Structures are given as C-alpha cells and as structure tokens.
A and B are shown apart, each in its own frame.
Chain A
Amino acid sequence: MYRNMLKRSWLSIRRKIGRTIVLTLIFFIMANLVLAAITIKSAVAAQMDYAKSTLGGTVTIQADMEAIRENQREQMESGVDRREMFGKMSRPKISIETANEIASYSDYVKDYSYEISSSANEGDLEIVESNNGPEMPGMPGMPGRFQNSNNSESAELDGNITISGINAYAYISGVENESFTIKDGTYFDEDSDDKALISYEFAELNDLKVDDTFEIKNVYTSEIVKLSVIGVYDSSDPFAGANTIYMNIATAAKFLSSDDYNDGNFDVNNANFYMINSDKADEFVEKINSDFPELAENNLKIAVDTSEYDSMSGSIESVGGFATTILVIVIIAAIVIITLIVTLNVRDRRYEMGVLLSLGAHKFNVVTQIATELAIVGTLGFALASISGTFLAKSMGQGIIDSQTASSQAQLEKNFGRPGNRMPGQPNNDNFAPGNNDSREMNMKQRMMANNEQKVELDINATPSDFLILFATGYLVIILALILPSVNIMRYQPKEILAGKE
C-alpha cells in the first residue's frame, strides 16, 4: 500500500515539474533562513557559555568609601579632633590569610591578584633621578616630595626605591596592554623568591644584568635583602617609576616593618578574584560575606565587575534575539505560504483524490500521499539549504555582530570621552593615590575596548544537531500546513469531490 503510494507521489513530483520546482524553491528559501537562525542561535548559546567561562568577571575587595565617610561623620559629631581623626585614618586592607582563603574557593575562583607595596633604601646603588626628584615610595612614578598622608609610617622611613609585590607578573599594570614589557630576562611568579624585575633605566645606571645580584635595605629594620635580577622591564606608562622593583609577594614582604609583617599575616592591596563563571557572582559574594563578616566591620566592601561579560553578551544576545525573531517569522510565513500552495494543489487535484477514493483508498491515505510528496520535495529543499544555509548564517550573523559591535564601541567611546565617567559595573577603585587611580582607569578603558573588539566573534558553523532541528522544523511546518487542506479532504464524500466534474 505504502509502496504504491510512494510510487504515485514520485510520479506526481516528476510529472508536475513546475509545481515541484516552485515548492522546492520555497522550502529551500525557508530552510536557508531557518538554518541560518538556528545556527546563529546555537553559536550565540555556545559563545555565551564560552564568555561566561572566559569573561567570568572579577570580584574586588576594596575600601568602602561610603562606610568610611559615615564613620568620619559620626566621629566628628561625637567631638573627636579633626586632625587626630585624619592622622589615625588608614586605608582598610585585607590580610593575606583571608585573601588566600578566598582565593582557595575553587568553585568560584579561576585566578586572583593582590599586591603589597613598600619601599627600600638603595644602599650602594644609584637612584634614577626624574625631573621631579626621586619617586614617592609605594606609588610608582610619584615624586618623593609628595608624602603619602595615609601611610602610618613616618616620612623619614621612606626609601627611594619602591617595592611592588604582586602574586603574578601578568597582573602588573600595563602588562596586558603591552605598555609594560620585559626587555631582557623573564618574568617572576609565586615561586620566584628573591628575584626582582628592575627597570631598564635602573639596570643601566647600576650596570645590572639578568642573573646579577644586588642588595637593598629594609627601611624599617635596616636588614639587607639580597635580590637577583630575573628580568629587566621597560614601561611606556608616564606614571611608572624607574626606581620601582617588582617581585613576588613573599619577597616583597621582606621589606615590611615588623608590625606590618605581623608574623606573616600582612595586609594586601587591590585583592581581585577572577571568577570561573560570572553567573555565580552573587553566590560568591554571599559566601565571602558569610565566611568573612570582619571585612564589612573593617570598612571593606566586595564589588563585582562583570562589565566585560556584560558588554560582550549585550551584542551577542541581540544577535540571538534577532535570530529568534527571524525563526518565528520564517516559520509562520512558511506555514502560511505552504498551506496556501497545498490548498490550491489539493483543489487542483480534487478529482484525482476523488478517483483514488472511488477506487477504495482511505481518506487518510490520500492525505498521506500529499504529505509524502511534500516531504520528498521538502527533503530536497532542506538538503540543498544545508549546503547554503551555513554560508548565509555566517554572513548574516557576522553582519549583525559587526553592526552591534560598532554601535556598542561608539557608545563605549562616548562614555569614556566624558571626564569622570565610569563604565557600568566597573569597580569603584577608590584609592588614596590619584595618579595611580588614573593610570588604572586608563588601563581598564583600554582593556575593555580591546575586549569588546576582540571577543565579539561568533563561530557560526552548523552542527549535526542544527541540521536535525532544521529537518524537524521543516517537517513540522509541512504537517501544520497540511492541516487545513486535510480537513477539506476528510469532510467530503467522494461523490461531493467528483460532483463538480460530473
């Protein structure tokens, strides 16, 4: 029975070639758009997952300026001397033990960075003189005559060399945007104890090369610390100081005062935790707050920055939304068009249907024959579209991405063009050193712009599951388009179908 039905369907397809071509063309166009939309949607989903894992966002533990100001206001109201109050004021910090503990939350944290800073006396070495005199310790590039009013130590104890300890070389400001590069040697890491990264100017002035050793003095304990040169850096950052020596945290801790060293539980600055998945940001913050309630007591707050992910996902999501709209429109249009064609086709072939019914065919078989014809033609259209659909998806998807990227890029530049403007979600890096803050903000801008340009790319390639969805959608459209004409066939008696002709 089905073999005969297939035979008749095939004959109809072959002999009514005009109708077959029109239908194939309609299925081909529909399938191209459906496949393009499906492929773009899959690529968007994959890209979002990828973005979540690569641009997981950053959690920063930083001074809660609002809480500090509130504290000050309360103290002033209770009659505390203004000078005494500002003298006691210090930037809230997080202890390395706490930072390490948070960093060990492997469900949330992919990587982390924090810093300590101090200063050292040059001993027998020479100091690079800038136009403004020796730089301010602890703040690369700041001339020495500017005193850090927030430093609890006295000004006389400040050395001419700035010690900057950071857990990984990659997180030194300027490394990512390549304004800070290694000219000779290599970088340090957490295991590079007693190794130092010195500036090109400092190395030249003191005739130091990679693997040479030199001695500088802890300004607090006068203890001599012997360091070996692991690398020589060059920085194009106008705020970077040539007398700054970079090293890992363990080495930098040797330059702290005994009090600050605190038996190894010293404080760190700028604690950033890079998350595995930005979706878990709230959960992570909640966990930190519940495990370390003392952070809030010490005027520290936890800021979440998912701006990189947000800025990228905005463009991608709009592409996904566009693809969904296309998919819905195409499916509705296809159902309407194919319903019309099938209705006209059934009308045109009603006598054939009547003949088949008069020969003893079941009405269901007659409908199945039409469905089979459509399925054969549809399969041909879908198969052809499988070849061309991916190309269409690529050009459509990239076109939308490009326009979205251009508009968000323009918005980004417009936002940063205004003085004092901050990107949405950007952590409020309230810092007591204005120069340092500006430099960081500039780096952040560059990083975000670069990210926005580089990461918004979709890998649009149809996967086997996309093809499966295409064929399933196509056959569903055929079934839906058949409903109305089928109702017509099912409700008539063969005589009524044939009566018009008689």
Chain B
Amino acid sequence: MSKKNVLKVENLSYAYSNPSGVQKVLKDINAEFESGKMYAIVGESGSGKTTFLSLLSALDKLQDGDIKFNNKSLRKIGGTEFRLKYVNIVFQAYNLIKYMTARENVQVAIDFDKRKVDPDKYLKQVGLTEEEGRRLIGKLSGGQQQRVAIARAIASNSPIIVADEPTGNLDEDTEEKIIDIFKDLAKKQNKIVIIVTHSKRVASHADKILHLRRGKLD
C-alpha cells in the first residue's frame, strides 16, 4: 500500500491591491486534498479559481493562511523548492517552450528532477507517437500540445498535479482522453490531481468537486 499524501489548505486568504482599493479574492479557505483522488474546482469567472490554483502551485506568495504538504508548511519549504519537488502545473495555454520539440519540453522537466528517463515514455503515456515527439511545438495541434504539457507534468514526478482548464481548448474526444489521463494519474500513480474547470463534464469525473463562490469554498 502506497503512502497517503495530504495537501492541506488552512485559513487561506488573498487580496489584490489596485488603484481602486484592496480587493479580497480568497477569504479564509480551508480544504484538504488526498493522494489517489482527482479534485475539481469549479466556479464563475472572477471567483478566485486561478488565484487559488496559483497559491496551491506556489506560483504566487502566500499572504494569510498556510498550505501544508504532509504537515510541512509551504512557507518553510519555500516556493522554488515546492515547485521543484511537490507540484507541477498544466497551464490552460500549455506554456511550452516553442523552440524545443515535444520530447525536449518533457526532457526539461526530467532534467529538473535529476532522473535519467526516456521522455518518449511519458509522451507515449499521453498518446503521442515518437514521430510527434520529435516535432517542434509549433508543428503540433492544440490537443497534442496539451498532451505534451501533461506529459511534462507527469515527467516531473511530483506528488501533486494542478491543472488550469486543461481541456478548455480541446474537442470532446480529446477532452475525454485527457480526463482519462488525469484519472489514471490519480488512481494508478497515487497523485493528488486538482483541476480547475468550467466544464461540468470534466468536473463530473472528479472524486470531489469544490465550488468557489466570491472567494469562499463550499
């Protein structure tokens, strides 16, 4: 039986300062995410989903509250270390390095993890062929690029995978395949998978759905 990892969010609040004043985006959020499960965070535009995801993936600095992985505080671990060892993100806009091939993009994540693994293994896992893996990013379709982004997230071998609208630009068939990949990551690889989505169809595949309304989690 594999070890159970827990990601805890404690009293998390976040506010933006702008010329019109301070805008509180997240208000005292508490949540717990376990390995082996897929979570969906849903909510309207402006509800604070992306901010919540940014904090979960340590892309932004914590203001109030804390995030703990197996009771270790993110504040103690440090953002860079947290991103390097504990979390990986799949962006809505893929954020792949354009002058590299699909394979090389995946290799970047493997290099950060200091492992010697063939990137083709991860590309195959997301349904890309070796030939597709050797193409430059610009030569791949949106769906293929999203798969590369997921392959990169898997390749980093992090226990947490956070995805921001991972199927937002994809057709239904591809969306289905991508969701299956995320489910496999949670079930077969015992990862904590957190997906931010608008899609009810995607959310329906999650083990737990969290609703974010006006900065508060239901």
Q: A interface vs B, CB < 8 Å?
A: 1, 4, 7-8, 11-12, 15-16, 351-352, 354-362, 493-496, 498, 501-502
Contact = CB atoms under 8 A, between A and B. Distances in A.
Contacts of B85: 360
Contact of A15 (B83, B89, B91, B99): B99
Interface stretch (B24-32, B103-111, B181-189): B103-111
B117 interface: no
Interface in B62-110: 79-81, 83-85, 88-89, 91-93, 95-100, 104, 108-109
Contacts of B114: 1
Contacts of A352: 97-98
A360 B97 contact: no
B95 A501 contact: yes
B50 interface: yes
Interface of B: 50, 54, 57, 59-61, 79-81, 83-85, 88-89, 91-93, 95-100, 104, 108-109, 111-112, 114, 136, 156, 164
A224 B54 CA distance: 117
Task: Give 9 closest A-B pairs by Cβ, nearest first.
Answer: A360-B84, A15-B99, A495-B59, A4-B111, A495-B60, A360-B83, A495-B54, A494-B59, A355-B95
B91 A498 contact: yes
A501 to B, nearest CB: 5
Contacts of A498: 59, 91, 95
B43 to A, nearest CB: 16
Contacts of A357: 80, 83
Nearest to B86: A360
What DSSP secondary structure best describes chain A's contact surface?
Answer: helix
Contacts, number: 71
Nearest to B109: A359
B112 A358 contact: no
B95 A11 contact: no
Contacts of B91: 498, 501-502
A493 B97 contact: no
B163 to A, nearest CB: 13
A277 B188 CA distance: 87
A361 B54 CA distance: 16
A11 B100 contact: yes
Contacts of B112: 4, 359-361
Contacts of A4: 108, 111-112
Nearest to A494: B59
A362 B96 CA distance: 18
A498 B96 CA distance: 12
Contacts of A1: 114
- B54, B89, B99, B114 pick with most chain A CB within 10 angstroms: B99
A362 B112 CA distance: 11
Contacts of A351: 95
Nearest to B85: A360
Nearest to B83: A360
Contacts of B79: 493
